[in-house]
Amino acid sequence: MSVSKVFHALIGDKSIVLQNTEFCQDHVIFWGRLRNHAKKCPCCGCSDVVIKETKERTFRTLNIGEKRAYLKIDVHKTLCNRCGKQSWMQLPFSCGKLPMTNSFIRHVIQLAAIATVLAVAAFLMLQWKTVKNIDKANLAKRAKQFSFKKLRYISIDEIAIKKRHKYMTIFTDITTGMIIHAVEGRSEECLRPFLKLLAKKAKRLRGIGIDMSAAYASSIKIHLPNVDIIFDRFHVTKLLNDTIDKIRRNEYAKCKKAGIEVLKGQRFLLLRNFVDLDDGQKSSLKKLLEINHPLAIAHSMKEQLRSFWSCKSKAEGAQFLFCWVMEALESGVQLLAKAARSLLRRCEGLLSYFDHGIDNGKAEGINNKIKVLKRQAYGYRDQEYFKLKLYHLHKKQIQLIG
Protein backbone atom coordinates (compact mmCIF):
# COMPACT_ATOMS: atom_id res chain seq x y z
CA MET A 1 0.00 0.00 0.00
CA SER A 2 1.37 3.42 -0.94
CA VAL A 3 2.04 6.15 1.62
CA SER A 4 -0.61 8.31 -0.07
CA LYS A 5 -3.32 5.68 0.54
CA VAL A 6 -2.27 5.33 4.18
CA PHE A 7 -2.34 9.12 4.52
CA HIS A 8 -5.88 9.47 3.14
CA ALA A 9 -7.05 6.57 5.32
CA LEU A 10 -5.74 8.35 8.42
CA ILE A 11 -7.19 11.74 7.47
CA GLY A 12 -10.47 10.35 6.19
CA ASP A 13 -10.71 13.03 3.51
CA LYS A 14 -9.45 13.31 -0.09
CA SER A 15 -9.49 17.08 -0.37
CA ILE A 16 -5.78 17.13 0.55
CA VAL A 17 -2.83 16.23 -1.68
CA LEU A 18 0.13 14.60 0.08
CA GLN A 19 3.36 16.45 -0.73
CA ASN A 20 5.94 15.02 1.64
CA THR A 21 6.36 12.65 4.60
CA GLU A 22 8.86 13.01 7.44
CA PHE A 23 9.51 9.99 9.67
CA CYS A 24 10.91 10.87 13.10
CA GLN A 25 11.79 8.70 16.08
CA ASP A 26 8.42 8.87 17.83
CA HIS A 27 6.15 10.62 15.32
CA VAL A 28 5.34 11.07 11.64
CA ILE A 29 4.67 14.38 9.90
CA PHE A 30 2.64 14.58 6.70
CA TRP A 31 2.95 17.73 4.60
CA GLY A 32 -0.07 18.42 2.43
CA ARG A 33 -1.91 21.06 0.45
CA LEU A 34 -5.56 21.66 -0.32
CA ARG A 35 -6.85 20.88 -3.79
CA ASN A 36 -7.93 23.88 -5.82
CA HIS A 37 -11.62 22.96 -5.66
CA ALA A 38 -11.44 23.10 -1.84
CA LYS A 39 -10.60 26.82 -1.91
CA LYS A 40 -14.07 28.30 -1.63
CA CYS A 41 -15.63 31.19 0.25
CA PRO A 42 -17.07 29.79 3.50
CA CYS A 43 -19.81 32.43 3.43
CA CYS A 44 -21.34 32.00 -0.04
CA GLY A 45 -19.47 28.98 -1.44
CA CYS A 46 -18.08 30.91 -4.42
CA SER A 47 -14.79 29.68 -5.92
CA ASP A 48 -13.83 33.15 -7.16
CA VAL A 49 -11.60 34.05 -4.20
CA VAL A 50 -8.29 35.86 -3.72
CA ILE A 51 -5.77 34.70 -1.10
CA LYS A 52 -5.01 37.57 1.31
CA GLU A 53 -3.02 35.78 4.03
CA THR A 54 -1.44 32.36 4.59
CA LYS A 55 -0.33 30.55 7.74
CA GLU A 56 0.76 27.02 8.59
CA ARG A 57 -1.39 24.86 10.88
CA THR A 58 -0.59 21.51 12.46
CA PHE A 59 -3.28 18.90 13.08
CA ARG A 60 -3.10 15.71 15.13
CA THR A 61 -4.41 12.66 13.29
CA LEU A 62 -4.62 8.92 13.95
CA ASN A 63 -1.51 7.17 15.22
CA ILE A 64 0.52 4.83 13.06
CA GLY A 65 1.27 2.03 15.50
CA GLU A 66 3.07 3.64 18.45
CA LYS A 67 4.03 6.72 16.46
CA ARG A 68 1.96 9.89 16.69
CA ALA A 69 0.95 11.33 13.33
CA TYR A 70 0.59 15.01 12.42
CA LEU A 71 -0.63 16.88 9.37
CA LYS A 72 0.97 20.20 8.44
CA ILE A 73 -0.87 22.32 5.91
CA ASP A 74 -1.04 25.94 4.75
CA VAL A 75 -4.41 27.58 5.30
CA HIS A 76 -5.51 30.80 3.63
CA LYS A 77 -7.52 33.86 4.47
CA THR A 78 -9.52 34.65 1.36
CA LEU A 79 -11.38 37.61 -0.11
CA CYS A 80 -14.51 36.65 -2.01
CA ASN A 81 -15.10 38.61 -5.22
CA ARG A 82 -18.82 37.87 -5.05
CA CYS A 83 -19.79 38.77 -1.45
CA GLY A 84 -16.70 40.85 -0.60
CA LYS A 85 -16.11 39.10 2.77
CA GLN A 86 -12.73 38.08 4.15
CA SER A 87 -12.57 34.83 6.11
CA TRP A 88 -10.32 31.91 6.87
CA MET A 89 -10.98 28.77 4.87
CA GLN A 90 -13.10 26.03 6.36
CA LEU A 91 -11.21 22.75 6.37
CA PRO A 92 -13.45 19.75 5.62
CA PHE A 93 -11.31 17.33 7.67
CA SER A 94 -11.29 19.38 10.92
CA CYS A 95 -13.82 20.60 13.48
CA GLY A 96 -13.73 24.27 14.41
CA LYS A 97 -10.51 25.49 16.00
CA LEU A 98 -9.41 22.13 17.39
CA PRO A 99 -5.96 21.21 16.01
CA MET A 100 -7.17 17.68 15.27
CA THR A 101 -8.68 15.87 12.32
CA ASN A 102 -12.24 14.57 12.53
CA SER A 103 -10.95 10.99 12.37
CA PHE A 104 -8.79 11.61 15.46
CA ILE A 105 -11.69 13.22 17.34
CA ARG A 106 -13.87 10.19 16.60
CA HIS A 107 -11.07 7.99 17.93
CA VAL A 108 -10.96 9.98 21.18
CA ILE A 109 -14.75 9.65 21.57
CA GLN A 110 -14.63 5.89 21.00
CA LEU A 111 -11.90 5.45 23.62
CA ALA A 112 -13.71 7.72 26.12
CA ALA A 113 -16.75 5.41 25.90
CA ILE A 114 -14.79 2.45 27.31
CA ALA A 115 -12.09 4.07 29.46
CA THR A 116 -11.57 6.95 31.85
CA VAL A 117 -10.64 10.42 30.66
CA LEU A 118 -7.27 10.20 32.38
CA ALA A 119 -6.48 6.84 30.76
CA VAL A 120 -7.39 8.11 27.27
CA ALA A 121 -5.31 11.26 27.79
CA ALA A 122 -2.28 9.22 28.90
CA PHE A 123 -2.65 6.77 26.00
CA LEU A 124 -2.93 9.48 23.33
CA MET A 125 -0.54 11.90 25.08
CA LEU A 126 -3.12 14.65 25.41
CA GLN A 127 -4.18 16.88 28.29
CA TRP A 128 -7.07 15.35 30.23
CA LYS A 129 -9.07 18.57 29.86
CA THR A 130 -8.85 18.22 26.08
CA VAL A 131 -10.24 14.69 26.20
CA LYS A 132 -12.96 15.75 28.64
CA ASN A 133 -14.06 18.69 26.49
CA ILE A 134 -14.24 16.50 23.36
CA ASP A 135 -16.29 13.84 25.15
CA LYS A 136 -18.52 16.47 26.80
CA ALA A 137 -19.26 18.17 23.48
CA ASN A 138 -20.12 14.82 21.91
CA LEU A 139 -22.47 13.85 24.76
CA ALA A 140 -24.15 17.26 24.62
CA LYS A 141 -24.94 16.72 20.92
CA ARG A 142 -26.60 13.38 21.67
CA ALA A 143 -29.90 14.40 23.20
CA LYS A 144 -31.67 12.26 25.80
CA GLN A 145 -33.63 10.00 23.51
CA PHE A 146 -36.75 9.26 25.51
CA SER A 147 -40.41 10.07 25.02
CA PHE A 148 -42.63 11.46 27.77
CA LYS A 149 -45.57 9.76 26.01
CA LYS A 150 -44.04 6.32 26.51
CA LEU A 151 -43.28 6.72 30.21
CA ARG A 152 -45.31 4.27 32.32
CA TYR A 153 -43.21 3.70 35.41
CA ILE A 154 -40.26 5.66 36.75
CA SER A 155 -38.20 5.53 39.90
CA ILE A 156 -36.74 8.34 41.99
CA ASP A 157 -33.61 7.74 44.03
CA GLU A 158 -30.70 9.71 45.42
CA ILE A 159 -26.95 9.29 45.10
CA ALA A 160 -24.14 10.92 47.05
CA ILE A 161 -21.96 13.12 44.83
CA LYS A 162 -19.80 14.90 47.40
CA LYS A 163 -18.91 14.70 51.05
CA ARG A 164 -20.90 16.58 53.69
CA HIS A 165 -24.29 15.30 52.54
CA LYS A 166 -24.25 16.55 48.96
CA TYR A 167 -26.78 14.54 46.95
CA MET A 168 -28.18 14.26 43.44
CA THR A 169 -31.68 13.00 42.66
CA ILE A 170 -31.96 10.54 39.77
CA PHE A 171 -35.15 9.90 37.73
CA THR A 172 -34.98 6.53 35.93
CA ASP A 173 -37.31 4.94 33.39
CA ILE A 174 -37.95 1.52 34.96
CA THR A 175 -38.81 -0.07 31.60
CA THR A 176 -35.57 0.85 29.80
CA GLY A 177 -33.24 1.53 32.74
CA MET A 178 -32.43 4.95 31.26
CA ILE A 179 -31.75 7.96 33.47
CA ILE A 180 -34.12 10.62 32.11
CA HIS A 181 -33.27 13.44 34.50
CA ALA A 182 -30.72 14.29 37.18
CA VAL A 183 -30.78 17.28 39.51
CA GLU A 184 -28.55 18.33 42.38
CA GLY A 185 -30.27 18.18 45.76
CA ARG A 186 -33.21 16.17 47.05
CA SER A 187 -35.61 18.78 48.41
CA GLU A 188 -39.09 19.55 47.08
CA GLU A 189 -37.78 22.73 45.47
CA CYS A 190 -35.25 20.72 43.47
CA LEU A 191 -37.80 18.14 42.32
CA ARG A 192 -40.63 20.58 41.55
CA PRO A 193 -39.63 21.69 37.98
CA PHE A 194 -39.32 18.16 36.60
CA LEU A 195 -42.39 16.89 38.46
CA LYS A 196 -44.39 19.70 36.85
CA LEU A 197 -42.98 18.71 33.48
CA LEU A 198 -44.05 15.12 34.08
CA ALA A 199 -47.55 16.26 35.05
CA LYS A 200 -47.79 18.22 31.81
CA LYS A 201 -46.24 15.77 29.33
CA ALA A 202 -46.24 12.25 30.81
CA LYS A 203 -49.98 11.60 30.52
CA ARG A 204 -49.59 7.80 30.65
CA LEU A 205 -47.45 7.73 33.77
CA ARG A 206 -49.01 5.21 36.17
CA GLY A 207 -46.58 4.70 39.03
CA ILE A 208 -43.42 6.03 40.64
CA GLY A 209 -41.13 3.77 42.64
CA ILE A 210 -39.36 5.53 45.53
CA ASP A 211 -37.62 4.75 48.78
CA MET A 212 -39.45 5.47 52.02
CA SER A 213 -38.59 9.16 51.98
CA ALA A 214 -41.43 11.39 53.17
CA ALA A 215 -40.07 14.30 51.10
CA TYR A 216 -40.35 12.36 47.83
CA ALA A 217 -43.83 11.08 48.68
CA SER A 218 -45.22 14.50 49.59
CA SER A 219 -43.75 16.11 46.45
CA ILE A 220 -45.34 13.47 44.23
CA LYS A 221 -48.72 13.82 45.92
CA ILE A 222 -48.65 17.58 45.33
CA HIS A 223 -47.67 17.58 41.65
CA LEU A 224 -48.82 14.12 40.47
CA PRO A 225 -51.87 13.28 42.59
CA ASN A 226 -53.19 10.70 40.11
CA VAL A 227 -49.96 8.69 39.96
CA ASP A 228 -49.51 5.79 42.39
CA ILE A 229 -46.56 5.78 44.77
CA ILE A 230 -44.86 2.37 44.99
CA PHE A 231 -42.44 1.76 47.83
CA ASP A 232 -39.56 -0.33 46.62
CA ARG A 233 -38.98 -3.82 48.03
CA PHE A 234 -35.25 -3.16 48.31
CA HIS A 235 -35.75 -0.20 50.66
CA VAL A 236 -38.33 -2.05 52.78
CA THR A 237 -35.80 -4.86 53.26
CA LYS A 238 -33.15 -2.27 54.05
CA LEU A 239 -35.37 -0.79 56.77
CA LEU A 240 -35.70 -4.20 58.45
CA ASN A 241 -31.98 -4.92 58.08
CA ASP A 242 -31.10 -1.57 59.67
CA THR A 243 -33.50 -2.35 62.52
CA ILE A 244 -31.88 -5.75 63.12
CA ASP A 245 -28.44 -4.16 63.04
CA LYS A 246 -29.47 -1.62 65.70
CA ILE A 247 -30.88 -4.42 67.87
CA ARG A 248 -27.65 -6.38 67.40
CA ARG A 249 -25.55 -3.40 68.52
CA ASN A 250 -27.76 -2.85 71.57
CA GLU A 251 -27.56 -6.51 72.51
CA TYR A 252 -23.82 -6.54 71.92
CA ALA A 253 -23.42 -3.59 74.31
CA LYS A 254 -25.39 -5.50 76.97
CA CYS A 255 -23.31 -8.63 76.46
CA LYS A 256 -20.08 -6.65 76.58
CA LYS A 257 -20.99 -5.24 79.98
CA ALA A 258 -21.58 -8.80 81.16
CA GLY A 259 -18.23 -9.89 79.71
CA ILE A 260 -19.78 -11.99 76.91
CA GLU A 261 -18.89 -11.42 73.23
CA VAL A 262 -21.17 -13.92 71.54
CA LEU A 263 -22.50 -11.44 68.93
CA LYS A 264 -19.19 -10.19 67.61
CA GLY A 265 -18.62 -10.82 63.89
CA GLN A 266 -22.13 -12.22 63.30
CA ARG A 267 -23.63 -9.23 61.50
CA PHE A 268 -23.92 -10.66 58.00
CA LEU A 269 -25.39 -13.94 59.26
CA LEU A 270 -28.31 -11.88 60.57
CA LEU A 271 -28.76 -9.69 57.50
CA ARG A 272 -28.56 -12.33 54.76
CA ASN A 273 -31.65 -14.28 53.75
CA PHE A 274 -31.84 -17.51 55.71
CA VAL A 275 -32.35 -19.62 52.58
CA ASP A 276 -29.07 -18.30 51.14
CA LEU A 277 -26.95 -19.55 54.05
CA ASP A 278 -25.06 -22.82 53.90
CA ASP A 279 -25.45 -25.54 56.54
CA GLY A 280 -22.57 -24.26 58.67
CA GLN A 281 -23.85 -20.69 58.65
CA LYS A 282 -27.39 -21.83 59.49
CA SER A 283 -26.06 -23.80 62.46
CA SER A 284 -24.08 -20.80 63.74
CA LEU A 285 -27.08 -18.51 63.32
CA LYS A 286 -29.41 -20.88 65.21
CA LYS A 287 -26.97 -21.05 68.13
CA LEU A 288 -26.76 -17.26 68.17
CA LEU A 289 -30.54 -16.78 68.15
CA GLU A 290 -31.12 -19.42 70.85
CA ILE A 291 -29.26 -17.32 73.42
CA ASN A 292 -30.69 -13.91 72.40
CA HIS A 293 -34.48 -13.63 72.46
CA PRO A 294 -34.96 -10.05 71.05
CA LEU A 295 -32.64 -10.76 68.14
CA ALA A 296 -34.39 -14.07 67.43
CA ILE A 297 -37.80 -12.31 67.27
CA ALA A 298 -36.50 -9.56 64.96
CA HIS A 299 -34.81 -12.04 62.62
CA SER A 300 -37.92 -14.22 62.47
CA MET A 301 -40.11 -11.20 61.66
CA LYS A 302 -37.70 -10.11 58.94
CA GLU A 303 -37.89 -13.54 57.30
CA GLN A 304 -41.69 -13.55 57.58
CA LEU A 305 -41.98 -10.19 55.82
CA ARG A 306 -40.36 -11.67 52.73
CA SER A 307 -43.59 -13.59 52.15
CA PHE A 308 -45.49 -10.30 51.72
CA TRP A 309 -44.23 -9.95 48.15
CA SER A 310 -45.50 -13.44 47.31
CA CYS A 311 -49.14 -12.68 48.17
CA LYS A 312 -51.47 -13.34 45.25
CA SER A 313 -53.73 -10.30 45.63
CA LYS A 314 -53.88 -6.86 47.18
CA ALA A 315 -56.46 -8.02 49.74
CA GLU A 316 -54.25 -10.93 50.80
CA GLY A 317 -51.27 -8.57 51.00
CA ALA A 318 -53.23 -6.12 53.17
CA GLN A 319 -54.28 -8.89 55.56
CA PHE A 320 -50.72 -10.25 55.77
CA LEU A 321 -49.27 -6.77 56.41
CA PHE A 322 -51.83 -6.00 59.13
CA CYS A 323 -51.12 -9.28 60.92
CA TRP A 324 -47.37 -8.75 60.63
CA VAL A 325 -47.58 -5.21 62.02
CA MET A 326 -49.75 -6.33 64.97
CA GLU A 327 -47.34 -9.15 65.79
CA ALA A 328 -44.38 -6.77 65.64
CA LEU A 329 -46.12 -4.24 67.91
CA GLU A 330 -46.85 -6.99 70.46
CA SER A 331 -43.31 -8.47 70.27
CA GLY A 332 -41.95 -6.26 73.04
CA VAL A 333 -38.95 -5.26 70.92
CA GLN A 334 -39.13 -1.46 70.73
CA LEU A 335 -37.01 -0.99 67.61
CA LEU A 336 -39.03 -3.63 65.76
CA ALA A 337 -42.28 -1.95 66.81
CA LYS A 338 -40.94 1.38 65.53
CA ALA A 339 -40.20 -0.20 62.12
CA ALA A 340 -43.70 -1.74 62.07
CA ARG A 341 -45.32 1.66 62.69
CA SER A 342 -43.24 3.10 59.88
CA LEU A 343 -44.51 0.42 57.49
CA LEU A 344 -48.10 0.91 58.67
CA ARG A 345 -47.93 4.63 57.84
CA ARG A 346 -46.78 3.70 54.33
CA CYS A 347 -49.14 0.79 53.77
CA GLU A 348 -50.78 2.44 50.75
CA GLY A 349 -47.47 2.64 48.90
CA LEU A 350 -46.60 -0.93 49.89
CA LEU A 351 -49.93 -2.31 48.68
CA SER A 352 -49.60 -0.44 45.36
CA TYR A 353 -47.07 -3.11 44.44
CA PHE A 354 -49.94 -5.54 43.78
CA ASP A 355 -51.59 -3.11 41.34
CA HIS A 356 -48.48 -2.67 39.20
CA GLY A 357 -46.06 -5.50 40.04
CA ILE A 358 -42.89 -3.46 39.49
CA ASP A 359 -39.70 -3.01 41.46
CA ASN A 360 -36.62 -0.84 41.28
CA GLY A 361 -34.30 -3.62 40.13
CA LYS A 362 -33.09 -1.76 37.03
CA ALA A 363 -32.77 1.49 38.97
CA GLU A 364 -30.61 -0.21 41.61
CA GLY A 365 -28.51 -1.72 38.81
CA ILE A 366 -28.03 1.75 37.35
CA ASN A 367 -27.03 3.02 40.81
CA ASN A 368 -24.28 0.38 40.92
CA LYS A 369 -23.09 1.55 37.49
CA ILE A 370 -23.01 5.13 38.79
CA LYS A 371 -20.83 4.06 41.72
CA VAL A 372 -18.42 2.26 39.37
CA LEU A 373 -18.38 5.29 37.04
CA LYS A 374 -17.47 7.61 39.93
CA ARG A 375 -14.89 5.16 41.28
CA GLN A 376 -13.18 4.80 37.91
CA ALA A 377 -12.93 8.57 37.48
CA TYR A 378 -12.12 9.26 41.16
CA GLY A 379 -15.10 11.64 41.19
CA TYR A 380 -16.31 14.43 38.89
CA ARG A 381 -15.73 18.11 39.49
CA ASP A 382 -17.74 19.18 36.44
CA GLN A 383 -21.34 18.33 37.43
CA GLU A 384 -22.71 19.15 33.97
CA TYR A 385 -20.32 16.62 32.44
CA PHE A 386 -21.29 14.10 35.11
CA LYS A 387 -24.98 14.49 34.24
CA LEU A 388 -24.27 13.99 30.53
CA LYS A 389 -22.41 10.78 31.37
CA LEU A 390 -25.41 9.62 33.42
CA TYR A 391 -27.89 10.19 30.60
CA HIS A 392 -25.99 7.70 28.42
CA LEU A 393 -24.97 5.30 31.18
CA HIS A 394 -27.58 2.66 30.29
CA LYS A 395 -25.73 2.06 27.01
CA LYS A 396 -22.28 1.85 28.59
CA GLN A 397 -20.61 -1.46 29.39
CA ILE A 398 -18.73 -0.91 32.63
CA GLN A 399 -15.47 -2.82 32.89
CA LEU A 400 -13.06 -2.70 35.78
CA ILE A 401 -9.40 -3.67 35.43
CA GLY A 402 -8.44 -6.43 37.81
> In this model, does residue 401 exceed pLDDT 50?
no
pLDDT above 60 for 398? no
Confidence of residue 400 (pLDDT cuts 50, 70, 90): very low
Mean pLDDT of the region 84-97: 78
At residue 205 the predicted structure's pLDDT band, cuts being 50, 70 and 90, is very high
Percent of the chain with pLDDT over 70: 88
Confidence at residue 213, expressed as pLDDT on a 0 to 100 scale: 79
**Over 80: is that where the pLDDT of 306 sits?**
yes
Q: What is the pLDDT of residues 100-135, one digit of tens each?
A: 988 899 999 989 888 888 889 999 999 989 999 999
Asked whether the predicted pLDDT for residue 195 surpasses 90, the reply is yes
Q: How confident is the model at residue 196 (pLDDT cuts 50, 70, 90)?
A: very high
pLDDT tens-place string over residues 2-25: 777 877 788 877 778 888 888 888
Residue bearing the bigger pLDDT, 156 or 81: 156
Q: So what's the pLDDT on residue 402?
A: 37
Question: What are 258-305's pLDDT values in tens digits?
Answer: 766 655 556 666 667 766 677 777 676 676 666 677 888 888 888 888
Average pLDDT for 357-362: 72
The CATH class of 153-232+380-395 is: alpha beta
Each residue of 235-265: pLDDT tens digit? 888 888 888 888 878 877 777 777 666 555 5
Q: How confident is the model over 210-233, as a mean pLDDT?
A: 87
Alpha carbons 62 and 43: distance in angstroms, whole number: 30
Residue extents of the structural domains in the chain: 1-94, 100-141, 153-232+380-395, 234-356
pLDDT band at 326 (very low <50, low <70, confident <90, very high): very high
What is the predicted pLDDT for the residue at 36? 64
Question: What is the share, in percent, of the chain residues with pLDDT greater than 90?
Answer: 15
